[in-house]
């Protein structure tokens, strides 16, 4: 046999029972990342459901739904949340600026995810492990409203290299929570 013999690695998909996931009760009492996801007038219930599922995956402490966002229980949210709407804490506010004001009063730094002058590229966010952050994601067409951007402590921008100027909000949530988890030492 040659020293260049091919090594064959087998990849068997794991069963759900082999993944070692927390039960809903265990998840409720587990240590969460001090991150709250704020949805500013997100219209698609599928995007809202995806936000719940992603928040669950990265152990965010809460989702705040604002404005035109639908709220659970909803069959459309459930289609993409797959039950995460029952594990991730959530609340509803009619107006996003009011939700942001309350978060600031509770010591959260507000980070809008948007393309603005003087935004900080996502991989350069100066996050500290002991601080609490609220990540604001905007409407599928209009983005984060300017009044909320004006209230923000920082604006994070996802670097992009193609011809389109934005990502779907549910994709943005996944990208940002991944990077924030990495920066905060969770990954």
d(CA 141, CA 139): 6
**Residue 1 confidence (pLDDT):** 54
Using CA atoms, how far residue 163 sits from 25, 139, 160, 166, in Å, is 44, 20, 9, 9
Q: State pLDDT tens for residues 110-152.
A: 999 999 999 999 999 999 999 999 999 999 999 999 999 999 9
Per-residue pLDDT of the chain (187 residues; tens, 9 = 90+): 566 667 888 999 999 899 999 988 888 888 889 999 999 999 999 999 999 999 999 999 999 999 999 999 999 999 999 999 999 999 999 999 999 999 999 999 999 999 999 999 999 999 999 999 999 999 999 999 999 999 999 999 999 999 998 999 999 999 999 999 999 988 8
23-183 folds as: Alpha/beta knot (3.40.1280)
The answer to whether 55 and 177 have CB atoms below 8 angstroms apart is yes
pTM: 0.93
**Residue ranges of the domains in the chain?**
23-183
d(CA 174, CA 179): 9
């Amino acid at each position: 046999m040659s020293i260049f013999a091919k090594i064959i690695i087998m990849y068997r998909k794991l069963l759900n029972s082999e993944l070692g996931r927390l039960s809903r009760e265990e998840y409720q009492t587990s240590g969460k990342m001090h991150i709250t996801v704020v949805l500013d007038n997100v219209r698609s219930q599928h995007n809202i459901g995806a936000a719940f599922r992603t928040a669950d995956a990265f152990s965010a402490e809460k989702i705040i739904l604002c404005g035109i966002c639908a709220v659970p229980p909803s069959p459309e949210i459930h289609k993409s949340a797959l039950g995460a709407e029952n594990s991730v804490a959530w609340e509803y506010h009619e107006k996003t600026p009011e939700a942001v004001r309350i978060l600031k009063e509770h010591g959260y730094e507000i980070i809008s995810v948007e393309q603005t002058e003087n935004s900080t590229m996502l991989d350069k966010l100066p996050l500290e492990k002991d601080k609490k952050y609220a990540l604001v994601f905007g409407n599928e067409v209009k983005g984060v409203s300017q009044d909320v951007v004006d209230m923000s402590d920082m604006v994070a921008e996802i670097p992009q290299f193609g011809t389109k100027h934005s990502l779907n909000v549910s994709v943005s949530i996944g990208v940002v929570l991944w990077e924030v988890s990495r920066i905060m030492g969770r990954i």
